Amino acid sequence: FVVFPFFFVNIFVALIIITFQEQGDKMMEEYSLEKNERACIDFAISAKPLTRHMPQNKQSFQYRMWQFVVSPPFEYTIMAMIALNTIVLMMKFYGASVAYENALRVFNIVFTSLFSLECVLKVMAFGILNYFRDAWNIFDFVTVLGSITDILVTEFGNPVGVTSF
């Protein structure tokens, strides 16, 4: 007997939601908006503002670091490095000479160092907690950790207890 009142409340709430949506659709039709205009309104209604941590003290080192890491030149430089790193990673092929493979290895170390520096600068600018609130920063951090692990395993061999599939 307890379940039935909850069931009816859920049906009532669903009915209210459906009625509200129908009324909204009727109002949109009355204003005779084009499909693109309607899509823009829907996007504006559902959009969430981009929230980025900004240090409060504008005289601090952290604020200057923040200005640097959110600047378009810094972001474009990082994007260019990602593109170059992708090209370098695609240059590997079977039967390459030792010198060629060593050059690619050095490029990998250089790019990993630069991306590690990017992570460190962003942690300094945003703070550790705010850095990890952004999904892209988490992705970057995990990618850098994976690259560092790859370099360590490549340079120093496979440690005891780590098996490859």
Dihedral, CA atoms, 142, 148, 149, 154, nearest 10 degrees?
150
What count of Cα atoms within 13 Å lies in the side-chain half-sphere of residue 40? 5
**Cβ-count burial of 115 within 10 angstroms (0-12 exposed, 13-18 middle, 19+ buried)?**
buried
- What Rg do the C-alpha atoms of the chain give, in angstroms? 26
Model pTM score:
0.65
Residue 33 pLDDT: 66
The mean-pLDDT minimum among 5-19, 21-35, 87-101, 109-123 falls in 21-35
Arithmetic mean of pLDDT, 110-134: 95
What contacts 73, CB < 8 A, 6 or more positions away?
none
- Mean of pLDDT over the chain: 86
First to last CA, the chain: 56
Arithmetic mean of pLDDT, 144-163: 82
| Structural tokens at position 125 | 């600018």
